[in-house]
Amino acid sequence: MAQDIVAIARSGMDVEWQRVETVAANLANLNTTRTADGTPYAARTLISGPRFAGLLGQAPVAGTSVLGVQVSTQPGRRVHDPAHPHADATGFVTYPNVDHVGEMTTMLAASRVYEANLAAFNHARTMYQRALEIGSKK
């Protein structure tokens, strides 16, 4: 059914949209040296997985869904800057553990997957419209 393809493509676009949102949050906090609990911002990674129409292993895959957001525990980048208000006793400031290049790569990949889902939807729509032409006199 065309509705199924639309739903699957929509789930893919939803997940990739949220992935880019996570990347944007990481990039926005690239210099956040202190959060509410006193630690620097920790990078977030969106984890997604397949969604099934029914019982696992018995039903076909019906798209994808967000399983959760993992907070990175990697140590952050340390910079010697005693004048910084967030510097510790040794004069080091801990910056977030966000991998700038990695986030850009993730963003590009997510945007490509988003486009691929868009293409899947457009093809499904074209097929649907072709099907409506069956038996048409025009």
> Where does this chain bind another protein (CB under 8 A)?
2-3, 6, 9-10, 13-14, 17, 114, 118, 121, 125, 128-129, 132, 135-137
Structure tokens at 119: 């293409």
Nearest to 39 by CA among 75, 81, 12, 1: 75
Tell me the DSSP string of 49-67: EEEESSSTTTS-EEEEEEE
Residue found under tokens 């129409």 = 53
Q: How far apart are CA 82 and CA 86, in angstroms?
A: 9
What 3-state DSSP class applies to 38?
coil
